[in-house]
């Protein structure tokens, strides 16, 4: 039996993480039970349980594990991607949220083992260049996490596509990681369409640098107090 909501630790974060999970199907990023979001908590993480549809998901069902992916609270098994999320939190202390999807356009690039080239100013803004493609890694252990960390550590992009698999994004908050997942699919789709039309022109690296710098440091409502939910998110 699942603990009543009020008895589950982190009730506010559970409510937020549950709401963010509902954005995955709303934005066309997931099918059936695939895809998950986690949030870092003190010494561990909260993550979607395995095999639960987004319609059926309840805040109290989110599973609390430690950073070795061992369940601390929850009666359902955590996502089969939990070891990956835990590895990312262990290795990248600045990360507070992780999203995983098989969103179709981005995953189509991953199936071809192709990075998503930087054809668009929106990509330069959000990802600081192409979205990198990591190598193939088997599901279940820490192999995927190692590949994600190997590529994303020190990288501008908060998103990676993994060969033959799908998308992982990171952020200082789960909401920031979700935004990166939504934007990743959006630019993957446009880059795909552009490729069908002809020969899209990659942006010059110096222009990418200028766009990224402006978006990161100048663009947006810098003077206004940041709304709490925007914390850790690139201003948009």
Q: Give the residues lining the site for Zn ion (CB under 5 A).
A: 166
Shortest distance (Å) from residue 111 CB to Zn ion? 13
Phi/psi of residue 201, nearest 5 degrees: -95, 120
Nearer to Zn ion, 48 or 129 (CB): 48
Nearer to Zn ion, 61 or 79 (CB): 79
DSSP code for 30: -
* H-only helix segments in the chain: 11-26, 82-91, 104-111, 121-127, 143-152, 174-197, 205-217
Give the C-alpha separation, 112 to 89, whole Å: 28
Which residues are bridge partners to 162 per DSSP? 134, 166
Shortest distance (Å) from residue 126 CB to Zn ion? 22
Nearer to Zn ion, 118 or 144 (CB): 144
Phi/psi of residue 135, nearest 5 degrees: -75, 175
Shortest distance (Å) from residue 192 CB to Zn ion? 20
The H or E element containing residue 64 is strand 63-66
Give the C-alpha separation, 137 to 141, whole Å: 9
- Nearest position to Zn ion, beta carbon: 166
Owner of token pair 């010059």 = 204
Note whether 40 and 89 are within 8 A (CB).
yes
Nearer to Zn ion, 33 or 195 (CB): 33
Give the C-alpha separation, 161 to 141, whole Å: 18
Nearer to Zn ion, 162 or 211 (CB): 162
Nearer to Zn ion, 117 or 166 (CB): 166
Shortest distance (Å) from residue 42 CB to Zn ion? 27
Shortest distance (Å) from residue 34 CB to Zn ion? 6
Shortest distance (Å) from residue 102 CB to Zn ion? 6
Instruction: For residue 124, give the nearest of 206, 218, 34, 40 by alpha carbon.
Output: 206
């Amino acid at each position: 039996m699942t603990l009543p909501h009020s008895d589950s630790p982190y009730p506010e974060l559970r409510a937020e993480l549950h709401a963010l999970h509902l954005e995955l199907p709303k934005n066309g990023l997931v099918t059936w039970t695939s895809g998950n979001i986690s949030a870092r908590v003190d010494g561990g993480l909260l993550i979607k349980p395995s095999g639960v549809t987004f319609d059926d998901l309840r805040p109290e069902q989110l599973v609390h594990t430690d950073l070795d992916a061992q369940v601390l609270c929850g009666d359902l098994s955590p996502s089969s991607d939990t070891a990956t999320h835990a590895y990312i939190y262990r290795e990248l202390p600045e990360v507070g949220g992780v999203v995983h999807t098989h969103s179709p356009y981005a995953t189509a690039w991953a199936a071809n083992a192709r990075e998503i080239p930087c054809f668009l100013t929106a990509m330069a803004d959000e990802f600081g260049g192409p979205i990198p493609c990591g190598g193939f890694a088997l599901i279940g252990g820490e192999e995927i996490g190692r590949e994600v960390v190997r590529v994303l550590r020190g990288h501008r992009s908060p998103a990676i596509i993994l060969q033959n698999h799908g998308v992982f994004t990171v952020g200082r908050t789960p909401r920031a990681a979700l935004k990166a997942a939504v934007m990743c699919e959006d630019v993957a789709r446009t880059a795909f369409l552009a490729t069908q039309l002809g020969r899209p022109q990659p942006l010059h690296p110096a222009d990418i640098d200028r766009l990224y710098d402006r978006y990161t440091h100048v663009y947006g409502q810098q003077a206004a107090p940041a709304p709490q939910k925007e914390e850790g998110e690139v201003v948009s």
